Every structure is written in structure tokens, then in C-alpha cells.
Amino acid sequence: MQRTLIIFKPDTVQRRLVGQILQRFESKGLRIAALKLLQVDRPLGEKHYAEHQGKPFFEGLIDFITGGPVVVGVLEGNEAITVVRSMLGATNGAAAAPGTVRGDFSISKQNNLIHGSDSPESALREIALWFRPEEVVDYTIDGSQWVF
């Protein structure tokens, strides 16, 4: 069982695509361990994308991620990090393969809808940055009574 951080970026919220894309992750078999809607401020955006500080697109990227509300969540499941990254497709929506989230819904390099952690180290760092420990649920109780 592995956890990964996902962000429905402001373009996803503004385009009302949150439910449709979340459904893809749930249908795949990933489960939601945390989820919330919030307005990102610049310090949080800069911390999240710290690895890109100094790059030509950095200021525009922070303008973008702080430009409207986001939905941020933790998904968990077998190999969740690589599963989510492969479902997202290439960074540039114009180049992303059809069938992927970016390939199906984005034609932009920046406005590419969803973030997913790129490694176990990134996932740990990002989950701690966006969520307090008590906001991430432990599925310790067998939930089958809700289904059967």
C-alpha cells in the first residue's frame, strides 16, 4: 500500500472537471485517504514547487497555482505513485497520450489539470506539506459492511 499526493489545479476546478477526474482514480482502485478544497497562497505554492525555483516558468507557475481554488488529496493503493503518474500522462497536454488525463482534457504545457507526486520521497514531503497528520485517514476498520 502506497500513498501519493494529488492536486486538482485551478484549471480543473474552474472547468468543473474535479468529479470526472476523481472518478478515474477511484475506478482504477485507488482510495481517498484525504481530500480538501482550499485557496493556495504564494508561500505554500512556492514550497510545493521549490524544485522549480529559478526556472523561467516559475513565477507563472506560482501565479497559476494561486490563481483560484484547488482540491488537494491523498490517494492510496498498490503502487499509487507510478499508477497516478501514468494515468496523468506527459507534462505537456499537447504531447500527452490520448487515454491519459492530460491527453484527454489538456492542450497546454502549464494548465495540465492534475499534479501527482513523482517519487516516494516527494510523496512524503508533499503530504506533510499539505495535510496535518490527523487529516489523513487510516483505513484500520474493515468497511465491507458499507457494501454488503
Chain residues binding ligand RTP by CB under 6 A are: 52, 57, 61, 91, 109-110, 112, 115-116, 118
**DSSP-based three-state secondary structure for 98:** strand
Given 115, 117, 123, 130, the catalytic residue: 115
DSSP E strand stretches across the chain: 2-8, 31-38, 70-77, 114-116
Identify which of residues 121 and 142 has a Cβ nearer to ligand RTP in the complex: 121
Q: Is 85 annotated as a binding residue?
A: yes
- Output 97 or 137, the one with its CB closest to ligand RTP: 97
Smallest distance, Å, CB 5 to ligand RTP?
9
DSSP state of 134: G
115 is catalytic: yes
CB nearer to ligand RTP: give 19 or 60: 60
As a whole number of Å, the CA-based R_g of the chain is 15
DSSP 8-class letter at 119: S
